[in-house]
Amino acid sequence: MESSTPIWHKHKEILTEAGIDFDDIEKTRKHIHQNAEGEFKEFNTKAKILEYFTDVDKDDIKELATTGLTIDIKGTAPPTEEGECNVIALRADMDGLPMKEETGLDYASVTEYAHMCGHDGHMAILITTGLFLKNHRDKIPSNKTVRLLFQPAEEGPGGAEPMIKEGCLEGVDEIYGYHSSPFGPECSITACEGAILAGIVIVEIEVEGKGGHGSEPANSIDPITAAVSIHNAFHTIKSRNTFNTDKVSFTICSFSSGSVCNVIPRVAKMTGSVRYFDESVKDKLCERITNITESISEAFNCKGVANLKPLYPATINHKKQTNAFLDIARKELGYENVETEKNLPVPGSEDFSYYLQKAPGAFIFLNNVKEGHEPIQMHSSKVDFNDNTTPTGVYLYIKMLESRLGMSLL
């Protein structure tokens, strides 16, 4: 194999020899992409996944959280005491975003949802991993299990919590997951121990005054002026209430009030979000948001309410499991293809965080930028998953499972 051969091609050849039909996997990925489904509505997506596991014992397949799935691949080889754990879960998210796709692809979404965050590819990687494991159960010790975890509604309102409540992590020793990302060349890895993704709090501000005619503001109580003052004061929170070392952001992204030029409205509204990596910093910001909203509203004779809705906590990678994965990635991809600092931590949020609160593990970014192409950010209407990364994603999962479960598969 010449050095100029892409690493993914090497992994594809190895896995093809092991029985994986990547043409079929890509066809399925594009089918899922074209028929994207939204939160807790992924019924056809679930059915497509199950087509690959009809020969798995029905007792080893569970349907959770309306459209979620767990599929246990259990070994048939003699048991072993090797490895640091017995049950590992691998997770892929299933839902698309409620937005219009603008890729111009012949398999672009035909529904009201679109896979603009790579979830179609995450499923392709997990399906392929499951197929490989299913076809090599005779190499997996009988006391070892790999749980495939297909989760709905990651984009909101969140499928991880109901999956956990319904038992998806029962008996699980460790959990891992990928996210396709534009942080580096295709098939390179970006990950770190500790905080890797931010927690998020949705902020909704409502300021109520007294409506009236625009020509007589003294007979009204103007909520717009109060809300603007609140917004301006919000900008002091980070500069005056957090330290330079605190990684946090607070952004107001919408402001609405009134509808015509000669009426002072009764209500002004703002919405935004807090992104954070430390719970104590988040608590401080939320307290200041509430105090500023209420006190400035009162100063303008208005009533101000700050409705703060925690969505997902920060995603905190466990040290031991993260470094174990990174060591494997360095060995298989080369040190130059493993990044632990640049672009990290990421200010976006993920409900994989809930799994890592219950079981040790790691969330890994599998980079997707093809040579000669510009990075495309997730949630852009131009995103398409890079199928070249599928073989590498699967291969690294297999090598990690070999290491953590104490077995030999390839």
Task: Determine which helix (DSSP H) or strand (DSSP E) holds 254, and give its type and residue range.
Answer: strand 248-257
Comparing C-alpha atoms, which of 44, 31, 42 is closest to residue 124? 31
**Residues comprising the binding site for Mn(2+)?**
117, 119, 155, 179, 379
Which residues share a beta bridge with 213?
263
Is the sign of the CA dihedral 111, 112, 114, 119 positive or negative?
negative
80: which 2 tokens?
A: 């072993």
Amino acid at residue number 297: S
Amino acid at residue number 389: T
For residues 49 and 37, the answer to whether their CB atoms sit within 8 Å is no
- Using CA atoms, how far apart are residues 366 and 185, in angstroms rounded to an integer? 9
In sequence order, the 6+-apart residues with CB closer than 8 A to the CB of 273 are 200, 201, 202, 203, 250, 251, 253
Comparing C-alpha atoms, which of 121, 123, 109, 96 is closest to residue 40? 96
**Residues comprising the binding site?**
117, 119, 155, 179, 379
Identify the DSSP state of 77.
Answer: B
Strands (DSSP E) found in 115-169: 145-151
- Using CA atoms, how far apart are residues 272 and 115, in angstroms rounded to an integer? 24
